[in-house]
A and B are shown apart, each in its own frame.
Chain A
Amino acid sequence: MKGSIIMAVSEFNNITIAVLSGKGGTGKTFVSTNLTLVSHGFTYIDCDVEAPNGHLYFEPQQSINQQGVDVLIPQFDSSKCIQCRQCIDFCKFNALAMVKEKVFVFEQVCHHCGGCSIVCPTGALEEIPRQIGVIKSYESKGHRVLSGELNLGEVSGVPVIKRLHQTNEKNSGIIDCPPGSGCSVMESIQNVDYLIMVAEASSFGAHNLEMIHELAAIMKKPYSVILNKTTNQKNPSKDYCERNGIQVLAEIPYDKTLARWLSEGEIPVLKSSNYRKLFEGVYMKVIVGLMNEEITRA
């Protein structure tokens, strides 16, 4: 079984699996770092660009390749403007306004579509690059690591996430998503093949699971759940999975040893054979799930 799955993985190139959760602190980074290490050469991609922390587990071993991420922002030239307002009418995000014959450009509202400079009949709006973050790429623990970082004060990490996906190109990868179910999560999972939703054993956890479950349905992605930090008490997230017929890949009990390892930057699959087996099992189930998807589609 295992041999044929490894064969299948090598035939399937370019598999991307996203790990997401409706809230922070459920264990996305825990799941994605461990899953990367039991995978067959997958890249670890930290899309949580507002607070990337995967590097705490995948510390860079050699040099880091760093690339800036720019967005294009219109720059206004009053000497060319004829106050026709076509740019302002065009901008659906209201990033442009006109006061006393002068165009205001609100850089943090701009979505960098370039439309204003196209519709401007006199060339009064020229797009100029502005750096909003960086992409770091390096090798660690036998895997390629890509980590996006949004500069402080920037509003949207979406362009950095977009660039992360472009940088990864056609390599298989585990994507460590930002928390929640907003724009940056949608951008992170848009082109992935499979979703693993990590849920905590609480009512709040179940509510957030429901939100990303809805998102998964809208995005038409195959998905399953990992129940993290479970105890012998009632688990509303588990109940939610049962009610909705969602596959549970694993239940990971609350474990103080695990918490200590994580706080020390250790990756549990490298410390314990039990955790290695657990994550190998998760990885196998996901690959089998993906193969079944392929069969259903074919």
Chain B
Amino acid sequence: MRIVIPTNDNHQDSTTSSRFGRAPYLAAYDSLQKNWSFYKNPGESNTGGAGIKAAQWAIDIGCESLIVDKLGSNAADMLKAADVKLYKMVDGRLVDLVLMAEKETLPRLNDFHEGFHNHGGQ
């Protein structure tokens, strides 16, 4: 299973980011290989549609679970259509979060915001 988590840095000890489209990095964990990959978020520098861009990236790399604090409705619509499981982020290290996602003990994300309409960078 491939799990994606937005992070502030590009290593395993990084803190998680509360944003999705404008998080600096996106961490992808492969639960079969048990390895981590860190990518610069393709959405971060976009003036608009950052969440859509990040969601497209996640879907394209085969993300099956996403752990986020909050998500815009556009990105949520895409991820739901791609059958990605959406989990609500809780406090904890990256390793703890993926463990909880694997055991499905994280709460599901059900509320989605309306988007920041080009003001998400502030």
Chain A residues in the interface with B (C-beta under 8 A): 88, 93-95, 97-100, 102, 104, 106, 108-109, 155
In the complex, what's the smallest C-beta–C-beta distance from A105 to chain B, in angstroms? 11
Which DSSP category, helix, strand, loop or mixed, fits chain B's interface? helix
Question: By the criterion CB–CB under 8 Å, are A94 and B49 in contact?
Answer: yes
Known: A88-B56, A155-B117. A97 touches B50 (CB 8 A): no
Chain B residues whose CB sits within 8 angstroms of the CB of A155 once the complex forms: 117
Interface flags, B45-60, vs A, CB<8A=1, else 0: 0111110110110010
Chain B's interface size range is: 10 to 19
* Besides A93-B49, A106-B52, A155-B117, 5 other A-B contacts (C-beta < 8 A): A95-B52, A99-B81, A100-B81, A100-B82, A106-B49
Question: By the criterion CB–CB under 8 Å, are A95 and B81 in contact?
Answer: no
Complex Cα–Cα for A98 and B81 (A) = 10
In the complex, what's the smallest C-beta–C-beta distance from A165 to chain B, in angstroms? 22
Complex Cα–Cα for A106 and B55 (A) = 13
For the complex of A and B, the 8 pairs showing the least CB-CB separation, nearest first, are: A94-B49, A94-B52, A99-B81, A94-B53, A99-B82, A97-B56, A109-B49, A93-B48
Chain B residues in the interface with A (C-beta under 8 A): 43, 46-50, 52-53, 55-56, 59, 74, 77-78, 81-82, 115, 117
7 contacts between A and B (CB under 8 A): A94-B46, A99-B82, A102-B81, A104-B78, A106-B52, A106-B74, A155-B117
In the complex, what's the smallest C-beta–C-beta distance from A285 to chain B, in angstroms? 37
Chain A residues whose CB sits within 8 angstroms of the CB of B117 once the complex forms: 108, 155
Question: By the criterion CB–CB under 8 Å, are A99 and B59 in contact?
Answer: yes
Closest to B77 in A: A104
Instruction: Identify which of B43, B47, B49, B82 contacts A95 (C-beta below 8 A).
Output: B49
Chain A residues whose CB sits within 8 angstroms of the CB of B49 once the complex forms: 93-95, 106, 109
